[in-house]
Amino acid sequence: MATVLWLHGGACNGNTMSFLNAEYPSVCDLVTDFGIEILWHPSAGLEMGNQVQALLKDILAEKIPLDIFVFEGTVVLGPNGTGRYNMFAGRPMKDWVYELAHVAKYVVAVGNCACQGNIPAVPPNPTESTGLQFHKTKKGGFLGEHFVSRGGLPVINIPGCPAHYDWITQVLVALAVGRAKDIQLDEYQRPLTFFKTFSQTGCTRVQFHEWKISAEEFGQGTRKGCLFYELGCRGPLTHAPCNRILWNGVSSKQRSGHPCIGCTEFAFPWFDLAPGTIFKTQKVAGVIPKESVYEADKFTYMLHAVTARIAAPKWATEDIFVV
């Protein structure tokens, strides 16, 4: 039996919505098949008010063991470091988070806000929001760069806006059944099993990327052309399995004709949402993508791109969905 406590900070609740839609395993399967006891969840817990306060105090007193502490949303430090913009159970949420993280065996940050601050942390950041152990790309965050849980791991980051439910449930199962040592983390403390490959892996339009054939407008993305060169798709640059582990087992952003927004990378949201940067590929001299996946110099990249486009087969420029 592994105990799980899930708390919610400054965020939209999207990761909870994702989690509650999990299928294989479902949330019920976590309890019945994997022996996970959910001590409390803000959207699924039965306890209220004083009951929640009593539960949290018993956990901090170690009368109730806490194996996995899951946090969703930013840690809100405002105003002026007091945390009183986000009160919970009679105290600033940040105080509960700090103390619970230090008694839990493992700490899991679910979603971008908990991992690195996300959109709430975009300047001027009036709520003084930050992530558990990162602030954007800088390690540190609320708990500090040297934080390690009692189980010997730093915060396990499961990014996404929101995170896919499979990423969440599989990490919880691994921790619950004693396989924490199998969870290998990258430099941003993301599980490598999900975040080693790129979102482009499995994209149904990867052939258009190779031939440098672009979709020029929304709607073409499901029919012809790559979304990277004009519409700001970050699939070739984003570590995520969205086209291997499909949403609802059916689709992904690229498969629906929408650019990958790169939400699992710790610099998200890109360019701090500056006007003219959303759904638009940033270019050098209006021609070459600033963030090229090609490792050579810009001139070599341009030569490669021109050659690929000239050599593109006829079908690459045609609408393949003909009725």
Based on the domain organization, do 84 and 163 belong to the same domain? yes
Which residues are known binding-site members for [4Fe-4S] cluster?
A: 12, 113, 161, 203, 226, 233
* Domain boundary, last residue among 133, 166, 195: 195
Based on the domain organization, do 6 and 118 belong to the same domain? yes
Based on the domain organization, do 95 and 216 belong to the same domain? no
**Full domain range(s) for residue 230:** 197-316
CA-to-CA distance for 96 and 68, rounded, in angstroms? 15
- CATH code for position 310: 4.10.480.10
> Is 150 within the bounds of a domain?
yes
> Is 323 within the bounds of a domain?
no
CA-to-CA distance for 66 and 168, rounded, in angstroms? 18
> Is 43 within the bounds of a domain?
yes
Return the pLDDT at 93. 98
Q: Are 159 and 190 in contact (CB under 8 A)?
A: yes
Which residues are known binding-site members?
A: 12, 113, 161, 203, 226, 233, 242, 260, 263
Return the pLDDT at 321. 59
Based on the domain organization, do 207 and 191 belong to the same domain? no
Based on the domain organization, do 208 and 94 belong to the same domain? no
Name the strands in the sheet holding 68-72, side by side, starting at the edge strand that comes first in the sequence. Answer: 36-40, 2-8, 68-72, 106-110, 156-158
- CATH code for position 44: 3.40.50.700
CA-to-CA distance for 56 and 51, rounded, in angstroms? 9
DSSP state letters, 47-76: --THHHHHHHHHHHTTSS--SEEEEESBEE
> Is 114 within the bounds of a domain?
yes
Based on the domain organization, do 168 and 95 belong to the same domain? yes
Tell me the Cα Rg of the chain: 22
Based on the domain organization, do 138 and 273 belong to the same domain? no
Output phi, psi for 2, to 5 deg.
Answer: -120, 135
Output phi, psi for 261, to 5 deg.
Answer: -95, 0
* Domain boundary, last residue among 195, 225, 254: 195
Based on the domain organization, do 108 and 187 belong to the same domain? yes
CA-to-CA distance for 197 and 281, rounded, in angstroms? 22
Tokens of 120: 């709430």
Q: Are 240 and 188 in contact (CB under 8 A)?
A: no
Return the pLDDT at 221. 60
Report how many domains make up the chain: 2
Based on the domain organization, do 183 and 92 belong to the same domain? yes
Instruction: Outline where 93-164 has alpha helix (H).
Output: 93-103, 112-116
In this prediction the pTM is 0.92
> Is 322 within the bounds of a domain?
no
Give the total residue count for the chain: 323
Of 64, 27, 59, the C-alpha closest to 43 is 27
Average pLDDT, 10 consecutive residues per value, the chain (323 residues)? 95 95 91 93 92 97 97 98 97 98 98 97 97 98 98 98 96 96 97 94 84 80 78 93 92 88 95 90 79 70 76 72 53
Of 207, 220, 204, 228, the C-alpha closest to 316 is 207
> Is 131 within the bounds of a domain?
yes
Write the pLDDT tens digit of every residue in 234-278: 999 999 999 999 998 888 988 888 899 999 999 999 999 999 898
Which residues are known binding-site members for [3Fe-4S] cluster?
A: 242, 260, 263
* Domain boundary, last residue among 173, 195, 217: 195
Residue 247: count of CB within 10 angstroms of its CB: 17
In Å, how far are 191, 211, 242, 257, 318 from 306, measured between CA atoms?
37, 9, 29, 25, 19
CA angle, 47 then 66 then 8, to 5° = 55
Based on the domain organization, do 8 and 118 belong to the same domain? yes
Instruction: Please state the separation of Cα 87 from the chain's center in Å.
Output: 25
Based on the domain organization, do 59 and 162 belong to the same domain? yes
In Å, how far are 119, 139, 181, 296, 298 from 207, measured between CA atoms?
33, 37, 38, 21, 22
> Is 271 within the bounds of a domain?
yes
Q: Are 253 and 261 in contact (CB under 8 A)?
A: yes
* Alpha-carbon torsion angle 101, 106, 111, 115, nearest 10: 60
Return the pLDDT at 153. 98
> Is 202 within the bounds of a domain?
yes
Based on the domain organization, do 217 and 294 belong to the same domain? yes
Residue type, 178: G
Return the pLDDT at 223. 67
Instruction: Outline where the chain has alpha helix (H).
Output: 14-20, 27-32, 50-60, 93-103, 112-116, 165-176, 192-195, 206-211, 298-311
Q: Of all helices (H) and strands (E), which one includes residue 194? A: helix 192-195
Residue 125: count of CB within 10 angstroms of its CB: 16
Q: Are 66 and 103 in contact (CB under 8 A)?
A: yes
